[in-house]
A and B are shown apart, each in its own frame.
Chain A
Amino acid sequence: MRIKRLRLTIASVASLLFCGLAAAQGTSEAAVKAAQSAGDNAWMLTSTALVLLMTGPGLALFYGGLVRKKNVLGTMLQSFVLMALVTVLWVIFGYSLAFGEGLPVIGNLRYALFSGVGGVPNPDYAPTIPQQTFAMFQLMFAIITPALISGAFAERMKFSSMLLFMTLWLTIVYLPLAHMVWGKAGLLNAFSGGRFPCLDFAGGTVVHISSGVSALVCALYLGKRKGYPSELMKPHNLVLSVIGACLLWVGWFGFNAGSALAASALATSAFVATHVAAAAATLGWLVAEWIMLGKPTMLGAISGAVAGLVAITPASGFVTPGPALLIGIAAGVVCFLMVSKVKQRFGYDDSLDAFGVHGAGGTLGAILTGVFATNLVNDGLKDSAGKALPLGLIDGNPMQVAYQCIGVLISWALAAVGTIVILKICDAVLGVRVDPVHEEQGLDLALHGEEAYAFEPERS
């Protein structure tokens, strides 16, 4: 009995081995493809999670530490609730309007409720990973972009009005812009025959210009916080902000290197450019403030890092490390001047500097992408003979700088006009600004009925 079973087992193992070998020889190409696809999908799922990490806890901590103690929960909730709200909108219609093939300026509803979005890759976007992975990766971008805006109206916007604002903003500003730049046959999509071929690897226009410019409009429309700038409104906990900025830096590897949409050499190149730019920008901001204000600060260092990450975002998949260094240093210095000099000169209350960092850094990065993009890094654009086309100015394509400026202008215009219209609607329906008494009391207690810190000594 025992021997018989053993014999059977040996026989079955042998036959399995034989079958396996035969299959491997016959379809080795398919096996390689499957392995690559598995590798790509593993990296893209990881990147997707990394980009979510940027909003919560990254941005929530970064912004939360910068506000006053009485508003920290309200500020963090604005980031956190968008992880929920945008996800729901994305599944219902967001992904489809951004990535369904429709008009040059907006997608159609073919993917509404994720219909047809499953395990099969969509060759128009990412031929080696399930379309569901691609859709989730893009969702994380759609979450953090509106969350960035919240830095401009921190400490004074109604929560109800913010939810309405974000729903409309995603629909009217983000989805069209994402479609134009990244969607199939989008107006600005360089890789899909767009009318104005704009290079934006990971979202300089779609994410940072759109959120930064909208942030400025919000700051101007809502007006200054009560008591700004005469009252003391210093950050209540910079330690939280440092942790948040570090998480943003780490998450940004998913954001930029993940935008290669594969575990490829291009992903590595974007990873390198991202890290190098963040480092250079940190030093750029620190040195600038040291020279101009006398002291290097922790807040300056993390602000510089974020500025560099913003500016390299559109360029990350197109530039070599040298230009990444330059873009980083430029972003550190320019964004420092924006928040410390320009903002004070004009007197608007962009509370957490969403415009100074994301609007200015995004614009700078988008234009410099047109200067430094090279087909040595990214040969995705080919002529009919299969030869890689020149990308930026340094490749001998000066027109690209003009196209980048067109992309920037369209992004600025759409964000500014869209945001004004949306704010008017929100103001008419719900009112955008909190009651002055609530503002004084703090949003945590007034709007949410809770407090962040309970440090009173216990009485026993």
Chain B
Amino acid sequence: MIKKIEAIIQPFKLDEVKEALRAIGVDGMTILEVRGHGRQRGHTEIYRGQEYQVDLLPKIKLEIVAPHNRVEQIATALIHAARTGSIGDGKIFVSDIAEAIRIRNEDRGEDAL
């Protein structure tokens, strides 16, 4: 069984998260610069008295595909590294992956990870 772990984190936490994942032997990940909001609901900016509600904030989305038995360890490392304790720290989603194929040599399944 292969799982995909998607973590949405604060951009400034990326380096700490990468470090923590490397420390537990995760050697592949994809990073996307995204925008969004959860309960944090953005913030207000004021330009010459004109207020703007900025509700979509820049975030980093990390994608890691890993064998199911490593999911707990990866999630724990992510949580510890990405947490500040305040609202807006992000979320982790875990889902099933039907198949993985390495383009170079057509390895399949866990061998392809």
Which A residues lie at the B interface, using CB under 8 A? 229, 232, 234-235, 289, 293-295, 297, 299-300, 303, 336, 339-341, 343-344, 353
Contact = CB atoms under 8 A, between A and B. Distances in A.
A299 B50 contact: no
B50 A344 contact: yes
Nearest 6 interchain pairs by C-beta: A340-B49, A339-B48, A232-B52, A234-B47, A234-B52, A293-B46
Contact of A295 (B46, B52, B54): B46
Contact of B45 (A234, A300, A336, A339): A234
Contact of B47 (A294, A299, A336, A341): A299
Query: Majority SS of interface residues in chain B?
Result: strand
B54 A341 contact: no
Contacts of B54: 232
B46 A341 contact: no
Contacts of A336: 49
A206 to B, nearest CB: 26
Contacts of B45: 234
A92 B88 CA distance: 63
A303 B49 contact: no
B49 A299 contact: no
5 contacts: A234-B45, A234-B52, A235-B47, A340-B49, A340-B50
Interface string B45-78: 1111110101000000000000000000000000
Interface of B: 45-50, 52, 54
Contacts of B52: 232, 234
B37 to A, nearest CB: 14
A229 B48 CA distance: 13
Nearest to A341: B49
Contacts of A339: 48-49
A271 B45 CA distance: 36
Contacts of B48: 299-300, 303, 339-340, 353
A367 B45 CA distance: 35
A128 to B, nearest CB: 43
A297 B50 CA distance: 12
B47 A344 contact: no
Contact of B49 (A232, A234, A293): A293
B44 to A, nearest CB: 10
Contacts of B47: 234-235, 297, 299
A296 to B, nearest CB: 11
B43 to A, nearest CB: 12
B20 to A, nearest CB: 27
